[in-house]
Amino acid sequence: MIVLILAIVVSFVPALALYRWLKNRIKDEEAYKELCQSALKRGMLSIFPILLASAVFQILLRLTGVMEANRLLYDALHTFIVLAFAEELVKYRTFRGTLKKTDDPVSWLDVTVLMTITGIGFDLIESIVYTIGASVPVVLIRGICIPHAGYGFLVGYFYGKGVKSGKPAVRWTGFVLAWLLHGLYDFSLTDSFIALNDNLMAVALVLAVLDIVLVIWLVRFVRKAKKQETYTEPLPAEEPDH
């Protein structure tokens, strides 16, 4: 039990370290830091609307009768819709809510960071849930991967790119990518998916490594972006989906 508790504590270190770096090493402005803190808190609180959305989707899915008819299809719909879609949608709306709370202009870099931090906030709370009955290796691997930080980075990056270019479709590219990667990862861990072929167990491993790659990509982007006007100048005030 002590080892598991230590593993849980250690698993929070990467996410918290990434948050502190994003909050303290990019801008010295107090307003920016407060916005980062707000994004983290909102991300943590998003667990409640996510649970509600997932419950609604779960009820609708059960009403279709797919669970009894085709277990593989049920697992696919459950992981992609009840889990991944509900989480990504609520996190996105939470991020949009954070933007509406500030009167200060935001840049491409800002929105990327804020969406990433929103993901980190949710990831911290979800990690606590996942520790129930989990093994030490699973807890540590999840902590190292910080999956929702990577998904948040994708959503925020393309959101900023879409607003800057004035192309609404680009804004949703990150959301779709995050949703599909998230859903596939969850689906790859189901018994029905693995039962198709034992080699498919490698899919979850590949996607876990990809989560780490996304975090590395985030760090590289932030370091480059904060030195370039393209990423630091204010985005257009008029945004497509108001």
- Residue 130: what pLDDT? 74
Q: Average of pLDDT values for 148-159?
A: 98
Q: What percent of the chain has pLDDT over 90?
A: 78
- Which tokens hold the place of 37? 């803190």
Between 2 and 239, the higher pLDDT residue: 2
Burial annotation 150-186 (CB, 10 A radius, 16+ → b, else e) = bbbbbbbbbbbbbbbeeeeebbbbbbebbbebbbbbb
- Amino acid, res. 228: Q
The count of structural domains within the chain is: 1
Condensed to tens digits (0 to 9), the pLDDT of residues 169-216 reads 999 999 999 999 999 999 999 999 999 998 998 999 999 999 999 999
Asked whether residue 172 is domain-assigned, the answer is yes
Please check whether residue 238 lies inside any domain of the structure.
no
Give the dihedral sign, CA 146/130/125/2.
negative
Q: What is the pLDDT of residue 20?
A: 96
For the stretch 60-91, pLDDT in tens is 999 999 999 999 999 999 999 999 999 999 99
| Domain assignment present for 86 | yes
Name residue 107's beta-bridge partners: 234
> Is there a domain that residue 237 lies in?
no
Decide if 72 is inside a domain.
yes
pLDDT at 223 over 80: yes
Identify the band that residue 239 occupies on the pLDDT scale cut at 50, 70 and 90: very low
Expressed as residue numbers, the domain containing 66 is 2-232
Residue 2: per-residue pLDDT? 75
- Confidence at residue 134, expressed as pLDDT on a 0 to 100 scale: 63
Q: What integer pLDDT is reported at residue 209 of this predicted model?
A: 94
What was the pLDDT predicted at 25?
Answer: 82
Rg from Cα positions in the chain: 18
